[in-house]
Amino acid sequence: MAVTEHANGNTTTDGTEQTLSSITSAGNYQLRVSVNNVVNDDEVEVRAKVYPRADASAVETLYLIPVKHDVGELSVIELPWIAIPASSQLDFTLKRVAGTDRAYQWCVLTQ
């Protein structure tokens, strides 16, 4: 099965947890975020939140990746390194926890 782009965007952080993509179709998904703009003392959190059922009010954060600038930091992070299976709802979020608000390019892939 071919990999396709499900969603994409350019999000500027504002210190709150911002939803990059909210997915309601069953499938396997992967988030990629460009961290080229991260510089000294910047820190962001990237999350994948999976809902156990479409009508569930509780959410389970399955993946949390803190990204802090270090020399030699990767220019793209993938969350996670494997595709996340979703049967009802999956939300990808981004939050600046330290440093300066910056713009981040991202895309969600599916197959």
Q: Where are the domains of the chain?
A: 4-110
84, 28 Cβ separation under 8 angstroms: yes
Each residue's pLDDT tens digit, 43-102: 888 888 888 776 776 677 667 677 766 655 555 565 555 678 888 888 999 999 888 899
Contact in structure between 32 and 63 (CB atoms under 8 Å):
no
Residue range 4-110, CATH number: 2.60.120.510
d(CA 87, CA 96): 28
Amino acid letter, residue 59: V
Give the pTM. Answer: 0.82
**Close Cβ partners of 44 (under 8 Å, ≥ 6 residues apart):** 13, 35, 38, 66, 67, 94, 95, 96, 97, 104
